[in-house]
Structure 1
Amino acid sequence: MKHLIVIAGIVCLPVSQAGVLEYGASLDQSVWKLVSDSPIECRLEHVIPGWGKGAFVSHAGKNVNMGFELKPLRPQARIQTVSVRSLPPSWHPGIAESGISKVRFYKQFDGYVSGQAAWTMLDELEGGYTPSFLFRDWYHQNQPVTVSISSVGFRTTYQNFLSCMQGLLPYSFDDIAFTILNYEKNSEDLTPYSQRRLAMIAAYLKADPQLDLVLVDGYTDSMGPSWPNQLLSDKRAKSVKKFFTDLGVDEKRVKTEGHGEKQHVATNDTERGRETNRRVVISMQRWTPPTLADAGKTASR
């Protein structure tokens, strides 16, 4: 016996019934592509003819993160709750569809499935099932709509996606966007910890050509004459830039400035304070699009 699926007080008819708009790739249309394969992002994309596209995405970071983005050709016209279901393959007649999750679609934002529900979608696709989104379409007078993700051609590209995820950097942009490097006394040599941080930043810069600007500011303690300290701070900043450019980073993306004894952050009366003042500060800037967290904040106002 078939049952109606209720979504936030709206009744959606089963997909087998008439009057439901269905979007999904046919056997000859179903294509999966690994469109991003880098140490900072893995993106496995699938086109949904006439509707838009979907993509499994994972980013560099300390924590496991993977989600599914559903990008329509037309923006979401309203906030609504959407049912995510798994439909059985045609060669397994008699198997009932199952629920995966219920997610929130925000106005003007892409749909998003995160956490365990996104991994469940991957498992269902690998098993030949069809994850589907059921909701009411504002653009079609609130008619019931099913947007399906085809499993045809999924498995081979999925293995490449998993391999990409294994190569993601274990830190994110936020982890290194502002970094302070410290130096040995009267030296151009970084402390061992700062050497490791610099290597992390360089690896990220190489992998992300979209970073807008890298600012490198050099500082010294107040020991010795001020002019040699000014030259030393400038030299330290430029040595960091050279480290980046030697690894292939475009020199136009890196700006340096030496500040000498200016802008101390600790006392110069102690060795610990002077060590803190001998530093290079690296700050990186990038434009980031609005996130679903931003959407939730907007919706709650």
Structure 2
Amino acid sequence: MRAKPFLIGLLLTGLSLVLPAQAVTFQTRMENVSWDVTGDQFECRLSQTIEGYGEAVFVRRAGERPTFRLNALHNPMSPGQAQVWNEAPLWRPGTNAQLVGQAQVREGSLVMTLPEQPTARLLAGLSAGLLPTVQRSSWGNAQEPVRVVVSSVGYNDAWERFRSCFAGLLPMNFDQVSNSVISFASGGSQLTGEARTVLDAVLAYFKADDQIKGIQLDGHSDNQGNRLDNRELSRQRALAVQSYLVERGVPEDLFTIRFHGERYPVANNRTADGRAQNRRVGLRLDRE
């Protein structure tokens, strides 16, 4: 079912809503609830098994905030928009469910994912003793919705373990490193302090991931000056990035260097801000 615009308004104003009473509900019995925390340098996971359904997982990747995933062994929900709520437990009568947002239910074992903002609302709800709840119509009967409920039993202790895992995360994940941009001052090829900070995060990731088989550097310039000088300047910038990384242990034979001068701007060269964006080296990692 779809939330009407006025429902979103209720959410934004902090009002609450009531879930339909008739639904097929999957929820782990209180005495069987357990939270599992696992992680490494790349991501931390906080998960709860949902009896008869699958698993609810909060995932925090390096360089990002937590997101929520719902996994199913056999998913009885039909594809489409699901409602996501923070529901009050039975021992808190008079407290209505609060709408968190919507998410797309898909076929397959990964039923749905929630981005960072609604996930933060689910985590806040758990901290307050509320129950994250996903609701969607079933395959066999559109009038009989399916509800999956995550228990808050034992959550606070689990959250502390989950948060402790964050300290070991790398500053950036693979996707972020592979879209790194190193900026330069006008007419220069010297690395700034900000550029070194970005490259230090790239180094930390490179040392942690043994599947990196190549690093591509693309040098660029703005359109100030003549084209031949700009092309050489873009080459010097790419070489400056390579030298910084090689001096800190990255094998030189992993690099592919290209330099383009002013040919591929990402912003308008008519403005100072645009030219600053165009003075750059793009860095991309290749995995095995």
User: What SS does structure 1 have at the residue aligned with 2:32?
Assistant: coil
Deviation at 1:152, TM superposition (A): 2.0
Deviation at 1:41, TM superposition (A): 3.1
User: What SS does structure 2 have at the residue aligned with 1:141?
Assistant: coil
Name structure 2 gaps, 5 residues minimum: 5-18, 220-227, 230-235, 264-279
Alignment-derived partner of residue 35 in structure 2: 32
**1:239-258 paired onto structure 2 within 5 Å:** 242-243=246-247, 246=249, 255-257=254-256
Letter in 2 for 1:160: R
Deviation at 1:213, TM superposition (A): 4.2
User: 1:206 and 1:161 mapped to 2: Cα distance?
Assistant: 24
Q: More displaced, 49-58 or 148-157? A: 49-58
Aligned to 1:44, which of 26, 43, 46?
Answer: 46
Residues 217 and 256, structure 1, Cα contact 8 Å, conserved in 2: no
**1:1-301 paired onto structure 2 within 5 Å:** 13-14=20-21, 20-38=23-41, 40-61=42-63, 65-74=65-74, 77-89=78-90, 92=91, 94-108=93-107, 110-138=111-139, 140-142=140-142, 143-165=144-166, 173-174=175-176, 177-179=179-181, 194-208=195-209, 213-215=214-216, 242-243=246-247, 246=249, 255-257=254-256, 282-285=283-286
User: 1:280 and 1:205 mapped to 2: Cα distance?
Assistant: 18
Residues 85 and 101, structure 1, Cα contact 8 Å, conserved in 2: yes
Deviation at 1:165, TM superposition (A): 4.2
What's the Cα RMSD here?
4.7
- The two structures have a TM-score, normalised by structure 1, of 0.58
User: What SS does structure 1 have at the residue aligned with 2:199?
Assistant: helix
**Identical pairs, percent:** 24
Q: Matched residue pairs, number?
A: 243
Deviation at 1:201, TM superposition (A): 0.8
In structure 2, the CA distance between the partners of 1:72 and 1:236, relative to structure 1 (3 Å rule), is: same
Which structure: larger Rg?
A: 1
Letter in 2 for 1:69: R
User: 1:191 and 1:130 mapped to 2: Cα distance?
Assistant: 48
User: What SS does structure 1 have at the residue aligned with 2:152?
Assistant: coil
Deviation at 1:180, TM superposition (A): 5.0
Q: More displaced, 51-60 or 189-198? A: 189-198
In structure 2, the CA distance between the partners of 1:118 and 1:202, relative to structure 1 (3 Å rule), is: same
Q: More displaced, 104-113 or 196-205? A: 104-113
Letter in 2 for 1:161: F
Residues 52 and 73, structure 1, Cα contact 8 Å, conserved in 2: yes
Deviation at 1:35, TM superposition (A): 2.3
User: What SS does structure 2 have at the residue aligned with 1:123?
Assistant: helix
Name structure 1 gaps, 5 residues minimum: 1-5, 224-231, 267-278, 288-301
Deviation at 1:255, TM superposition (A): 1.8
Letter in 1 for 2:26: Y
User: 1:237 and 1:124 mapped to 2: Cα distance?
Assistant: 45
Deviation at 1:202, TM superposition (A): 0.7
Residues 216 and 240, structure 1, Cα contact 8 Å, conserved in 2: no
User: What SS does structure 2 have at the residue aligned with 1:110?
Assistant: strand
